[in-house]
């Protein structure tokens, strides 16, 4: 029995309404974040480099990603994640 070849649809996951906005921080923004909260990169939660939400951001391991979520109850919430493998 021959298997059917299936094509994967090209999805742009970051454009979906349920995916929060992800932005890669530059070095100055990262330094300011660490100084403001008196933390290091190792103390941030992790996000995988191959996470579909950040694949198009050209991130490297150790970069910091700012995630902005909009909610009806809490309003706008900002989270930070460090990229890992």
Q: Which residues of 45-66 are buried (b: 16+ CB within 10 A; e: fewer)?
A: eebebebebbeebebeeebbbb
Q: May I ask the CATH architecture of the domain 19-84?
A: Alpha-Beta Complex (3.90)
**pLDDT: which is higher, 58 or 16:** 58
pLDDT of residue 13: 80
Residue 32 has pLDDT above 70, yes or no: yes
Residue 7 has pLDDT above 60, yes or no: no
Predicted confidence band at 1 (pLDDT cuts at 50, 70, 90)? low
The domain spans of the chain are: 19-84
Predicted confidence band at 10 (pLDDT cuts at 50, 70, 90)? low
Share in percent of the chain as helix, strand, coil (round to 5): 25, 30, 45
């Amino acid at each position: 029995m021959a298997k059917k070849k299936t094509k994967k649809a090209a999805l742009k996951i970051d454009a979906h309404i349920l995916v929060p906005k992800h932005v890669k921080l530059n070095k100055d923004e990262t330094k300011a974040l660490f100084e403001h909260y008196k933390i290091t990169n190792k103390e941030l939660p992790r996000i995988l480099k191959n996470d579909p939400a950040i694949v198009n951001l050209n991130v490297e391991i150790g970069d910091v990603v700012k995630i902005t979520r909009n909610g009806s109850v809490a309003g706008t919430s900002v989270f930070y994640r460090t990229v890992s493998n």
